Amino acid sequence: MTTKAWLGLTRRCSAVLAVALVAAACGTASGSGNSVVGKASGGHLTIAIAEDQPGSSLKGLNGDYTGFDIDVAQFVAKELGVDPSGITWRSTVSADRETVLENGSADLVVETYSITDKRKQVISFAGPYFVAGQDLLVRLSDNTITGPESLNGKRLCSVLGTTSAQEVKDKFASQTRLVEYAHFSECITALLANIVDAVTTDDLILAGYASQNPELLRVVGKPFTQERYGIGVRKGDTDAVAKIDDALTKMVSTGAWKSSLEHNFAGTGYKIPSPPAITER
């Protein structure tokens, strides 16, 4: 082989190798080694959840987690082949939900996680498994706040990483003064201490907080958005989305979905809605 032919062959081999490396680097999470389905086959999953949302996802004094989101996560994990003992719960805050999926520190996020087009640019969703409505939590003695339009000049609290408070300011009351904390429980403390005038997030979450302080707090009861809760997975993990959607469909059809809601929100006055159509497949 001449020197010229050898150099030509070397260049062609290098080009083929480069293409192969790029293809490998750009592969989606659906590859058998990266999908949640593949990880679940080993009997273990790390699931990111909240720890301070009564009725939805609450960490008890003994370290156990309870709530509707916890029941959903356990049902899905079981259908993927992972027993409750094989779940590592990873407490996270709203602002970090995309990050924990992107950096691989969580396999799933089940945290009253609203499906939005902006979030779908970064991660993928299965579901929805619940549809909530944004509402307001106020002090029981405050009759001045009757809906989002009455919040001009008021101090409105929500958490970092959510769009709830800005939604009110943009669409209903431009003079609302926004206050943000890392956790909803901090907003509740601020409301009880008269540091803020109202807390806004989904009515399901607010119902849980109101039930803990019924003599002090109330939900206004006029939801003004629709929030479709999904289970977050790594972007492009279509295998996981399909399997999780199948699990959610089974949870609804067996009655486990309704039973969980009735158990976790008993006594709150929250009206259990019909289950949503699962459309993210």
pLDDT digits (tens, 9 = 90+) for 244-263: 999 999 999 999 999 999 99
Q: Which CATH class is domain 134-219?
A: alpha beta
The residue ranges of every structural domain in the chain are 36-132+228-264, 134-219
Mean pLDDT of all residues belonging to the chain? 89
Tens digits of residue pLDDT in 24-68:
334 445 544 579 999 999 999 999 999 999 999 999 999 999 999
Fold match, 36-132+228-264 / 134-219: yes
- Please provide the CATH number assigned to the domain covering 36-132+228-264: 3.40.190.10
- Reduce the DSSP state of residue 162 to 3 states and report it: coil
DSSP string spanning 5-50?
HHHHHHHHHHHHHHHHHHHHHT--TTSTTTSHHHHHTTT-EEEEE-
Q: What was the pLDDT predicted at 1?
A: 54
Give pTM, 2 decimals: 0.83
- What token pair was written down for 144? 């001045």
Q: What is the mean pLDDT of residues 153-164?
A: 90
The string over 221-251, giving b where at least 16 C-beta atoms fall within 10 Å of a residue's C-beta and e elsewhere, is eebbbebbbbbbbbebbbbbbebbbbbbbeb
What tokens appear for 108 in the block?
């799933």
Q: Both ends of the chain: CA-CA distance in Å?
A: 55
The percent of residues above 90 in pLDDT, for the chain, comes to: 80
**Phi and psi dihedrals of 204, rounded to 5?**
-60, -45
Q: Which two tokens stand for residue 186?
A: 């901090």
